[in-house]
Amino acid sequence: MKARTHKQDSRIIVYDAEWIHQPGKHLFSEQAWESSGCVVGQAPGRGSALFLETDFGSAVLRHYLRGGWAARFSRDRYVYTGFEQSRPLAEFNMLTSLYGMGLPVPQPLAAQCVRQGLFYTGDLITRRIPDVIPLAELSGSRKGGPEAWRAAGACIRSFHDHGIIHADLNARNILIADGNRVYLIDFDRAQIRRGATSLFQANLRRLKRSLHKFLDEEQLEYGWRQLLIGYNAGTG
């Protein structure tokens, strides 16, 4: 990782110079990527995330969007309190730390914060993890055996053992790859709080509520039991 900062008018970009050689607003322009034929897909869910094939490899471009009541006032603007406190930079730095620890997260490539008076908008580019399915789809997949569920539990435990609090641990932010390799994504607002047992348990409860949306009772009971076996074994 060779982290560099690029400033242009009201735009600040942080990027990995090992992969990004020409930082600029074009990196975060959905229209620019679409016109160049580099968009190969889009992620489901509330967030705006495009799958890209670029000269620096497969990547995901995500534009930060608000949810809940705040979205009624602004879909993508946040109060600006400084670049260092912006959500794109915070997530870029968090991913840089986790990736450096060897934890299974997407490799961070670039992030930007664009100031607009009292507000800002933001974007993040990460390496795309190939050939994965979200935990939400595990029951209907060839990867849906007990080993995959246990691997997911062990992966979550490895993050908790490092004190990582995922702010939105849901069934779409846990990805299963071949060989039951598991990755966590979306570390917006994540924290490092070592020994925060109550927050770790809250993470698990949030995940179980999320799985309720995708699995019937029998599938949920089976999958959750296997996940807890992996989590309690602590083999992540």
Q: Give DSSP secondary structure letters for 61-118.
A: EEE----GGGGGT-SS-EE-S-GGGSHHHHHHHHHHHHHHHT-S-PPEEEEEEEEETT
What is the full per-residue pLDDT of the chain (236 aa) written as tens digits?
899 999 988 999 999 999 999 999 999 999 999 999 999 998 876 557 899 999 999 999 999 987 655 545 667 899 999 998 999 999 999 999 999 999 999 999 999 999 999 999 999 999 999 999 999 888 766 666 899 999 999 999 999 999 999 999 999 999 999 889 999 999 999 999 988 899 999 999 999 999 999 988 988 999 999 999 999 997 44
Distances (CA, A) of 105 to 55, 99, 140: 21, 6, 24
Distance CA 48, CA 130 (A): 19
Q: Which CATH class is domain 132-233?
A: mainly alpha
216 is catalytic: no
Cβ–Cβ < 8 Å for 16, 2: yes
Distance CA 50, CA 27 (A): 12
- Given 131, 168, 178, 216, which residue is catalytic? 168
Residue-level pLDDT at 71: 47
The pTM (predicted TM-score) of the whole model is 0.90
For strands 119-127 and 78-79, give the pairing. Answer: antiparallel
Alpha helices by DSSP H, listed for the chain, are 30-35, 87-101, 146-161, 197-212, 217-233
